[in-house]
């Protein structure tokens, strides 16, 4: 049986103190001092047989496993952690000492994964998986710490030399939260906040993604792989129009789409592109053409008819 498996078994019986709230380690530029809360306890007679391959009881963990995932733009952000409980104990400055690195959870390392590069409170972080630590302080900013080693047990063998980035954060007051909770807020197409709440404190950091650059690269790659697809070209142009991005590129895409297939959809997209460039006279021409080409049996067309007619009225007023 591995050391980690043995510790998980001990945690179930409440014999491994670090499993309830996470071990700590001194945060310094040299190797951290040994933390006595993570020392391996001697096996008791009742548990000694577990190391010989005997079956184990299916008992719940004191700090249950949890995973939270959020997509920001095209980037998947995942936090994999164990959730300790307060259990009427003093947490900050007690269970979690100040001025020491804390595993930001319980049991194994808390892991955070980014499927694409991100910015954390403005700091660049490459795609990948990291251990997530917290460095709490009594009277100043705390730090989120991303560390490249993901196979430790909590802060055992933690080495600041492996830190990738430190993210300063200000702890905020929160409503009481019995079990540690990670959660996302302020989710937008290209950003969101990752929050850690436990007891009466919340830590929060902003995650930003360069979604438009990623989308444009993906569009170019897909169109290269599927040349001559008028619908993909129209979809690409439509995205650029909706997000006010690169009008010249949008015009190139929609003109090629129209060359391949003169349909109501790409005419309507070109009309909106022209209107966004304040060419209302030409936009009216393409809108009328779109209305003429649309089929009464096409549900998508029927759903957009009212919008097109409203646009005609608005653009006529602006064109003349």
Residues contacting 247, CB < 8 A, separation 6+: 240, 241, 273, 276, 277
Instruction: Enter the DSSP assignment of 262.
Output: -
DSSP state of 218: H
pLDDT in single tens digits along all 320 residues of the chain? 444 554 444 444 443 434 334 444 444 433 343 332 333 333 333 444 445 578 889 988 889 999 999 999 999 999 999 999 999 999 999 999 999 999 999 999 999 999 999 999 999 999 999 999 999 999 899 999 999 999 989 899 999 999 999 999 999 999 999 999 999 999 999 999 999 999 999 999 999 999 999 999 999 999 999 999 999 999 999 999 999 999 999 999 999 999 999 999 999 999 999 999 999 999 999 999 999 999 988 999 999 999 999 999 999 999 87
| Spatial contact of 238 and 251, defined as CB atoms under 8 Å apart | no
For helices 280-293 and 264-276, angle between their N-to-C axes, nearest 10 degrees: 160
Kindly report whether the global pTM for this prediction surpasses the value 0.75.
Answer: yes
Dist. CA 22–CA 19, nearest whole Å: 6
Q: Please tell me the number of Cα atoms within 13 Å of 89 on its side-chain side.
A: 15
Give the pLDDT confidence score for residue 154 in this predicted structure: 87
**Helices and strands counted in the chain (H then E):** 9, 12
Nearest alpha carbon to residue 263 among 227, 237, 239: 237
**Half-sphere exposure of residue 273: CA atoms within 13 angstroms, side-chain side:** 26
Closest CA to 272 of 258, 263, 282: 282
CB 159 within 8 A of CB 131: no
pLDDT at residue number 98: 97
CB 35 within 8 A of CB 155: yes
Residues sharing a CB contact under 8 Å with residue 59, sequence separation 6 or more, in sequence order: 12, 13
The domains located in the chain, with CATH, are 3-208 (no CATH), 211-319 (1.25.40.10)
Question: Is the separation of the CB atoms in 258 and 270 below 8 Å?
Answer: yes
Q: What's the pLDDT score for residue 296?
A: 84
pLDDT for res 32:
40
Strand ranges for the chain from DSSP E: 24-26, 65-72, 75-82, 100-102, 111-114, 118-120, 123-125, 128-135, 142-147, 163-169, 172-185, 191-208
The reported pLDDT for the residue numbered 52 is: 59
């Amino acid at each position: 049986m591995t050391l980690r498996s043995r510790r998980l078994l001990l945690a179930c019986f409440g014999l491994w103190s670090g499993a309830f709230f996470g071990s700590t380690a001194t945060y310094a530029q040299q190797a951290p001092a040994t933390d006595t809360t993570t020392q391996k306890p001697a096996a008791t007679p009742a548990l000694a047989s577990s190391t010989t391959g005997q079956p184990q009881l299916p008992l719940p963990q004191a700090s249950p496993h949890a995973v939270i995932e959020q997509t920001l733009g095209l980037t998947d952000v995942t936090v994999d952690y164990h959730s300790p409980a307060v259990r009427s104990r003093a947490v900050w400055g007690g269970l979690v000492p100040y001025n020491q690195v804390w595993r930001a959870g319980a049991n194994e390392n808390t892991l955070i994964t980014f499927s694409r590069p991100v910015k954390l409170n403005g700091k660049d972080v490459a795609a990948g998986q990291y251990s997530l630590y917290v460095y709490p302080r009594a009277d100043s900013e705390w730090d989120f710490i991303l560390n490249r080693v993901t196979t430790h047990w909590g802060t055992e063998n933690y080495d600041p030399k492996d830190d990738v980035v430190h993210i300063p954060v200000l702890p905020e007051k929160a409503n009481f939260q019995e079990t540690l909770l990670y959660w996302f807020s302020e989710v937008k197409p290209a950003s969101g906040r990752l929050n850690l709440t436990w007891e009466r404190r919340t830590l929060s950091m902003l995650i930003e993604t360069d979604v438009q650059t990623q989308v444009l690269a993906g569009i170019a790659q897909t169109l290269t792989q599927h040349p001559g697809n008028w619908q993909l070209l129209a979809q690409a142009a439509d995205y650029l129009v909706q997000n006010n991005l690169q009008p010249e590129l949008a015009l190139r895409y929609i003109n090629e789409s129209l060359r391949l297939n003169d349909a109501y959809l790409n005419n309507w997209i070109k009309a909106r592109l022209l209107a966004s460039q304040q060419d209302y006279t030409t936009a009216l021409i393409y809108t009328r053409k779109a209305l003429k080409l649309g089929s009464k049996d096409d549900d998508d067309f029927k759903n957009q008819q009212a919008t097109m007619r409203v646009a005609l009225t608005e653009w006529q007023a602006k064109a003349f």
